Amino acid sequence: MSSMKRFGVCLIALISLFAVVYQPAQGYKLHPRDVYHKAWELVRDTYYDPTFHGQNWTSWEHKYDGDIKTVADAHKSIKVMLESLKDPYTRFLDPLSFRDENDAINAKIVGIGINLVQKGDRLVVTKTIANSPAQNAGMKEKDEIVAIDGHSAIGLTPEQAAERIRGKAGSSVQIAVRRGENPAAKAFDITRAEIIIHAVSYKVLDSNIGYIQLSTFISNDAAREFKIALEKLSRTDGLIIDLRDNPGGLLSNSLEIADMLLDGGVIVSTEGRLGKAIDRASGNPLTHQPIAVIVDDESASASEILAGALKDNQRGVIIGTHTYGKGLVQEINHLPGGSAVHITVSRYLTPSGVDINKIGVQPDIMVSDKAQQDNVAIAYLKEKIASLKGRTNTISLSH
C-alpha cells in the first residue's frame, strides 16, 4: 500500500473516531455504568500492551458496579481504572476537555487567545496568539493572571482558568495580571472572539534561507499550511524547520509533511496489538532544498516522528537538544455523553528502528543555548548551500 493511500486511511479513521457516538439500543436508557464499561471495553480491545502493565484487566470490568450511581461517579471510576496502567498518555477527557481538543483540531476556538502554564499556585501566560483579543488588548507573555472577572485566580489550574475565561463570541471578560516586579495588578477588559489557530508561520531570512515554524500538528490544517509555506519559499536556497516547543498532534500530519520532504524511504513504523505497520514516503517530494531542523526538549510526538524521519533518511540535519521522548501513539475514542478516552494503541520506531520513548531524538549538532540554535542552523545551511553550488559549478565546467 502506498504511503499516500495510507495517509487517507489514517485521516478517515481519525475523522470516524470523532464522528462515531456510542448509542444504546433504542428504548434502552443508558446507565452511568455503561459509560464506565465502554471505557473498560475500549482498553481491553485496543491497548498496545497485552499484559495491561502486568495486571488482570478483567478484574476491573465490574469493580465499581455497586458504586456508580451518577455520570460523575463513572468518570471518577474511569480515571482510577486508567491510572492503573501507569501510562500518562492513556487518559480520560471530560466533555469540556474533549470539546477543547476538537476545537484545536478544527483550528478554531472562541476565547481571548492565550496559552497558560501553572507554576506553583501561579498562572503564567506563555504565549499570546498573534492578533488575538488578548494581544490586541495589551496582554503579554510572562504576565501572571491574578483575577478573572473579579475573582482570584491564585491556585487555579490552566483548565479551571480556561473554563472561567471561555464564553460566547462578543461577550467580555476582565483579566487582572501582575507584570514583572510591579506588585500592582493591571486589568484588561477583553472581548471574546473566534480565533483561527495557525499551525505554521514562515519568512525569508538573510542569505535567502527560508524559515518555517511549525507550532503544532494537532490542527487538521497543519499539513496544508506547511505545503503553502514550502511553495512560498520554493525560491530560497535552504530551509530551517523550527519544531521547538511543538507538542505534536495528529500522526497523519507528520506523515504528510515528511512525504513532502523525503525522496523515499521509511517515515515511521508502528507496533501494536495487531502487528507492525510501516509508512513509506511516496518518493515525490515537493522540494530538494537542504534542510536544518531545530528541536528542543519540548519537541514531542509527531515532531519527533518528523525529525527522526529526516535524520535517519539523511534528508536534514537536526540541531538543538534531545527531544521530549514520546514514542507512543494514542487513539481518541468518544464515550457516551460527550466525554472521551485517549488510549495508547501502538509504539513507534524511527526509520532506523530506534525506540525513542523516554529518550528522544538525539540532535546531530548539540546546541543547548536557544539563542544560538538559529545561528548554528543558518551557518550550517550557508556552508551546505555553498558546497552544493560549488559542486554544480564543477560539474558544469567538466562538460
Predicted confidence (pLDDT) per residue in 186-234, tens digit = 999 999 998 887 899 999 999 999 999 999 998 889 999 999 999 999 9
What span, in angstroms and rounded, lies between the C-alpha atoms of 37 and 95? 17
Q: Are 328 and 30 in contact (CB under 8 A)?
A: no
Question: Do strands 340-349 and 91-93 pair parallel, antiparallel, or not at all (unpaired)?
Answer: antiparallel
What span, in angstroms and rounded, lies between the C-alpha atoms of 218 and 226? 13
pLDDT at 126: 84
What span, in angstroms and rounded, lies between the C-alpha atoms of 204 and 13? 37
pLDDT at 396: 47
CATH numbers and ranges of domains, the chain: 110-196 (2.30.42.10), 200-390 (3.90.226.10)
Q: Are 44 and 79 in contact (CB under 8 A)?
A: no
Averaged pLDDT for residues 111-133:
87
3-state SS of the chain is CCHHHHHHHHHHHHHHHHHCCCCCCCCCCCCHHHHHHHHHHHHHHHCCCCCCCCCCHHHHCCCCCCCCCCHHHHHHHHHHHHHCCCCCCCEEECHHHHHHHHHHHCCEEEECCEEEEEECCEEEEEEECCCCHHHHHCCCCCCEEEEECCEECCCCCHHHHHHHHCCCCCCEEEEEEECCCCCCCEEEEEECEEEECCCEEEEEEHHHEEEEEECCECCCCHHHHHHHHHHHCCCCCEEEEECCCCCCECHHHHHHHHHHHCCCCEEEEEEECCEEEEEECCCCCCCCCCEEEEECCCCCCHHHHHHHHHHHCCCEEEEECCCCCCCEEEEEEECHHHCEEEEEEEEEECCCCCCCCCCCCCCCEECCCHHHHHHHHHHHHHHHHHHHHHHHHHHHHHC
Q: Are 266 and 215 in contact (CB under 8 A)?
A: no
Averaged pLDDT for residues 130-145:
93
Check if 382 is active-site.
no
pTM for the predicted model, two decimal places = 0.78
Q: Are 324 and 361 in contact (CB under 8 A)?
A: no
- The rounded percent of the chain whose pLDDT value lies above 70 is 90
Q: Using pLDDT thresholds of 50, 70 and 90, give the confidence band for residue 157.
A: confident
Task: Write down the mean pLDDT value for the chain.
Answer: 88
Q: Please say if the pLDDT value at position 344 is more than 50.
A: yes
Averaged pLDDT for residues 382-391:
86
pLDDT at 104: 77
Q: Please say if the pLDDT value at position 4 is more than 90.
A: no
What span, in angstroms and rounded, lies between the C-alpha atoms of 186 and 151? 14
Averaged pLDDT for residues 355-368:
96
Catalytic residue among 312, 339, 346, 374: 312
Averaged pLDDT for residues 152-156:
92
What span, in angstroms and rounded, lies between the C-alpha atoms of 33 and 181? 51
Q: Using pLDDT thresholds of 50, 70 and 90, give the confidence band for residue 116.
A: confident
Question: Do strands 172-178 and 186-191 pair parallel, antiparallel, or not at all (unpaired)?
Answer: antiparallel
Q: Are 46 and 345 in contact (CB under 8 A)?
A: yes
Q: Please say if the pLDDT value at position 15 is more than 50.
A: no
pLDDT at 9: 26
Q: Please say if the pLDDT value at position 392 is more than 70.
A: no
pLDDT at 354: 94
Q: Please say if the pLDDT value at position 18 is more than 90.
A: no
**pLDDT one-digit tens code per residue, 54-110:** 999 999 999 999 999 999 999 999 999 999 999 999 999 999 888 878 877 886 778
> 261 vs 29, which has greater pLDDT?
261
What cell numbers appear for 20 in the block?
462515531
What span, in angstroms and rounded, lies between the C-alpha atoms of 341 and 353? 29
Q: Which of 135-139, 196-200, 213-217, 304-308 has the lowest mean pLDDT?
A: 196-200
Check if 3 is active-site.
no
Catalytic residue among 87, 132, 252, 326: 326
Check if 245 is active-site.
no
pLDDT at 24: 40
pLDDT at 82: 97
